[in-house]
Each structure stands twice: as structure tokens, then as C-alpha cells.
């Protein structure tokens, strides 16, 4: 029984490590995705401003 509980504890530690690792990876991916989306919005806004200002200057 003692060995059985030790094995269970070891397995639960392993699964906890796996879970925390998966959460860390998932959090990193979410952060990268939100950062990429923000950069995309800023870039598209800058491009639209360039186009609009260019049209204003031409007119």
C-alpha cells in the first residue's frame, strides 16, 4: 500500500508538471496571438492613414 501511494503521488506530480507546462505553452501562444493581432491592427491602421493622407495630399 505504501508503494502504491508513493506511485500515485509521483504520477500526480508528473501530471501536475505536464498540466502546468501545457498551461504555460497555451498562455504563451495566447500572448503571442494577441500581440500579433495588436500589431496587425496598428499596421493596417498606419497603412489606411497613409492611403487617406496620400489621397488628401493628391487632392
Kindly state whether residue 49 falls inside one of the protein's structural domains: yes
The model's pLDDT over 24-53, given as tens digits with 9 standing for 90+, comes to 888 888 888 888 888 899 999 998 888 887
Kindly state whether residue 3 falls inside one of the protein's structural domains: no
E strands, 1-59, are none
The label of the residue with cell 500581440 reads 35
Q: Distance between CA 49 and CA 55 in Å, rounded?
A: 10
Say how many domains are in the chain: 1
Kindly state whether residue 2 falls inside one of the protein's structural domains: no
Domain enclosing residue 30, as ranges = 25-59
Predicted TM-score (pTM) of the model is 0.45
| Nine-digit cell string for 18 | 505536464
Kindly state whether residue 18 falls inside one of the protein's structural domains: no
Q: Distance between CA 59 and CA 55 in Å, rounded?
A: 6
Amino acid at each position: 500500500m505504501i508503494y502504491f501511494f508513493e506511485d500515485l503521488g509521483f504520477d500526480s506530480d508528473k501530471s501536475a508538471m505536464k498540466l502546468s507546462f501545457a498551461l504555460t505553452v497555451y498562455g504563451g501562444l495566447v500572448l503571442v496571438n494577441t500581440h500579433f493581432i495588436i500589431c496587425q491592427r496598428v499596421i493596417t491602421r498606419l497603412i489606411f492613414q497613409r492611403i487617406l493622407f496620400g489621397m488628401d495630399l493628391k487632392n
